[in-house]
Amino acid sequence: MLRIIIYTGKGGTGKTVNSCSTAVHLADNNYKTLILSSDPAHTLSDAFMTGYIGNEPAKVLDNLFALQIDPVIEINKNFSSILSYIVSVFFSKGIDETLSYEIAMLPGMTQLFSLLKIEEALKYGDYDAIVLDMPASGEALRYLYFPKLAGSIGRKLTGFTGVFSGFAKMFQPFSGFSTSQSNLPPSNVLLNELDLLSRLESLSKSITDSSITSLRLVANPDTFSIENAKRALMSANLYGINVDLVIINKIMPKESSDSYFANWSRFQNNKVEEAKSNFYPLPIREAKLYDRELRGIDMLRENASLIFENEDSSNIFYTGKVFEFVQDGSGLRMKLKVPFTDKDDFEIIRYGEQLSIKVRGPTGYVINVIPLPAATIGMKLERSKLVKDELDIFFER
Ligand SMILES: Nc1ncnc2c1ncn2[C@@H]1O[C@H](COP(=O)(O)OP(=O)(O)O)[C@@H](O)[C@H]1O
Ligand SMILES: [Mg+2]
């Protein structure tokens, strides 16, 4: 059984150290583990406090290998012929070459090539578990849909001749790329693209399979990183990626005689309670703020044992969608699990791209602000009802 565990969340929340902790815990439990990071800074060697870790798996411990993805190498390997083709067309339209490269590299593309490293490890490695430390939430995940789009559009457009460059096609509105047969990109570009699409397709299959992949969210007990994690949860739900755990990291100790620290502790405690209802029914693990920087194998190991206790960190801690969107006629139905409320005790208000849901909790009202998907732009909130512990909210076009 193979497991892929991906950690994401806002910068500085502790994705890298929690990825490393999990990887050490897995290796200690006899899973042959590979940890990958695409952070531009060499954070894995900082966290493990080991020597240089580069673009090839380096042994950190028995059963544990680490690899620091170099996006430049990965882009050259996978995308250079497609990229130079797109750039050459921009250039022929009079756009400066440096700028052409900037435009042709879509947001999140660097991350996409980092994700492809998982596909490579799946193909060539014999690992039991792969842990990915993924910076910035969500961006790259949308490309997992790309093979479906580019693949089917491409095949339809070109009939028997193969695929039309789906990547180039994305830039058609700006560049006047022609879709006619006589204007096809050179065959090496098409072959490169076919290969890339099939690799993305297989990656996408593994990542959307909840028995293989879990996404775990890391946040701190503060508003900003919790909001960020909620958006990541929404995207993951939309892309069909299973989120199985939320880690609230860097929680200060509760008892303090100093009013400065007591204030922080009270604030953080409220945030943790809020997170529990916001992420309901996802399991939440609380991790303490150490009295020093969390790094080095011993500390990472201790951190993992506090988070996972005696459990197997490769477990799937939750399966299911927290939000679900179903097309319903011309509208959209949103289903959402909510904790402890009853029929007359909730209030839903929409503010632009957000939905505020107020439910009654054991200690008073709890407000959950949920980011709405882009499809609800141009729709209005029509009605809502509560069925068991699930809110059913209907948006009408
Ligand atoms: N629970 C913790 N206690 C003490 N220091 C922590 C804790 N979690 C993270 N850190 C420290 O915070 C910094 C940022 O953590 P890191 O894992 O690099 O965050 P991210 O990868 O999300 O940007 C690092 O110096 C790390 O050692
Ligand atoms: Mg990091």
- Provide the domain count of the chain: 2
Other C-beta atoms lying within 10 Å of the C-beta of residue 342:
9
Question: Environment class of residue 44 by beta-carbon count within 10 Å: exposed (0-12), middle (13-18) or buried (19+)?
Answer: buried
Whole-model pTM? 0.86
CATH number of the domain within which 363 lies: 2.60.40.790
Which of 293, 298, 301, 306 gets mutated to test ligand 1 (max ligand atoms within 8 A of its CB)?
293
Listed residues 321, 347, 375: the one ending a domain: 321
Q: Mean pLDDT, to the nearest integer, of 357-374?
A: 78
Note the pLDDT of residue 6: 94
Residue 184's closest CA among 201, 206, 168, 200?
168
Q: Taking the alpha carbons of 148, 68, 43, 80 in that order, is the dihedral positive or negative? A: negative
Q: Mean pLDDT, to the nearest integer, of 302-325?
A: 94
Output the ligand 1 site: residues, CB below 6 A: 9, 11-17, 43, 249-250, 287, 289-290, 293-295
- Residues 306 and 358 occupy one common structural domain: no
- Domain with 334, as residue range(s), is 323-396
Note the pLDDT of residue 184: 63
Q: Which amino acid is at 66?
A: A
Q: What is the pLDDT of residues 96-136, one digit of tens each?
A: 888 888 777 766 677 777 788 899 998 888 999 999 998 76
Listed residues 321, 350, 380: the one ending a domain: 321
- Residues 348 and 314 occupy one common structural domain: no
CATH number of the domain within which 85 lies: 3.40.50.300
Q: What is the pLDDT of residues 156-182, one digit of tens each?
A: 444 433 444 566 666 665 555 555 545
Q: Which ligand is nearest to the CA of 20?
A: 1
Note the pLDDT of residue 172: 60
- Residues 209 and 262 occupy one common structural domain: yes
- Residues 30 and 135 occupy one common structural domain: yes
- Residues 168 and 256 occupy one common structural domain: yes
Biggest CA–CA distance in the chain, Å, is: 77
